[in-house]
Chains A and B, each alone.
Chain A
Amino acid sequence: MPLLAPNVGENKLLEFALGKATPGNQTLKLFVNNITPGATDVAGTYTEMSTLGYAAKTLTTSSWTVTNVSGSATAAYAQQSWTFTAGTSVTIYGYFVIDSTTGVLLWAERFSAPIAVDAGGDALRLTPSFTLTSA
């Protein structure tokens, strides 16, 4: 599924881009409710994983790198990984990113296929990136 920046995320990112507001760190979270990201989503739309040793990841603003190519610019972050502990099986449907300061949902993405975590030692690796194109 493609990444989706909901309305609140688009607005916040545009405010950051234009210097109207200052971005803080972001928080990367995994969601376990079976939904498809939509334009009117907010952070509360998503049910964050809470078991199997899971913890959200902090994405530090200064660690994003931006590259420019013809027609687009991409912000990329180093790969993030979780290694889970044993416990009751959980299905992870995707991830979402919030602005750590305001709690505003910036974007979300549903995985192409849900990921079932059912054994200690299972791992999930995710490389955050965000691409901006213009006409």
Chain B
Amino acid sequence: MPAVSTTVKYTRVGRGSLLANAFGGADVGVLFPATVQLYTNSVTLTETITQANFVDLQDSIPYTAGTITPASWIVTTSGDIAVAKHPSIRVSITTDRTTLNANANVRGYYILGSDSTTVLWAGSFPSPFVVNKTPNGQIVDLFIPLEIQWRAP
């Protein structure tokens, strides 16, 4: 049951939605509830990345996406930085030889907003997490910690 660290990139629309939510603006957009999806392709994370840029693990093996619960964020101050941490998101993967042709490399995660299509932010793992084809029916739980930092200029 591994926990993985990530390098995070916010998308342009994700950043705007977070700011709009902070101010209660009219254009909050598609924020929460948000889900945590896993991707398997080697893709460079940019602020204009979209769902179409990711090859989802779902394409090769079924898994249960994680859910971000807004009430679960814990915000603290570290120096002059506000840090929000969410309890690690659990993503369950069940190996299935009938759908998995080879071992799958999970390279990171992406957060989909409430419309299930807009990418808010994404994170890449330092090295791929390998889901082995065998043994059949093995359940792998991946725990992804989420952390957001805000710092005043």
List the interface of chain A (C-beta within 8 A of B): 2-7, 9-11, 13-20, 22-26, 39, 61-75, 107, 130, 132, 134
Q: Which residues in B have their C-beta under 8 angstroms from that of A62?
A: 24-26
Q: Among A20, A24, A72, which residue has its beta carbon within 8 angstroms of that of B70?
A: A20
Q: How far is the CA of A13 from the CA of B32 in the complex (A)?
A: 16
With A7-B77, A20-B71, A20-B73 as known contacts, state yes or no: A73 contacts B24, CB within 8 Å. Answer: no
Residues of B within 8 A of A19 (CB): 21, 31-32, 70-71, 73
- From B13, B22, B76, B153, give the contact of A17 (CB < 8 A): B22
Q: Is the CB of A7 within 8 A of B47?
A: no
Given the interface pairs A10-B151, A19-B31, the reply to whether A132 lies near B18 with Cβ below 8 Å is yes
By the criterion CB–CB under 8 Å, are A64 and B153 in contact?
no
Question: Interface size on B (CB < 8 Å)?
Answer: 33
CB within 8 Å of A: which residues of B?
10, 12-13, 15-16, 18-27, 31-32, 47, 70-71, 73, 75-77, 80-82, 84, 148, 150-153
Do A16 and B47 form a contact, CB below 8 Å, given A7-B80, A11-B77, A66-B16? no
Q: Contact between B82 and A75 (Cβ–Cβ < 8 Å)?
A: no
**Total of A-B residue pairs, C-beta within 8 Å:** 127
A2 to B153 alpha-carbon distance, docked (Å): 8
Give A44 to B106 CA distance when docked, in angstroms.
50
Does A132 contact B15, Cβ atoms closer than 8 Å?
Answer: yes
| Known A23-B22, A73-B12; further 19 A-B contacts with Cβ < 8 A | A2-B153, A10-B82, A11-B75, A11-B82, A14-B148, A17-B19, A19-B31, A19-B70, A20-B84, A23-B21, A24-B24, A61-B25, A65-B27, A68-B15, A70-B47, A73-B16, A73-B20, A74-B19, A132-B150
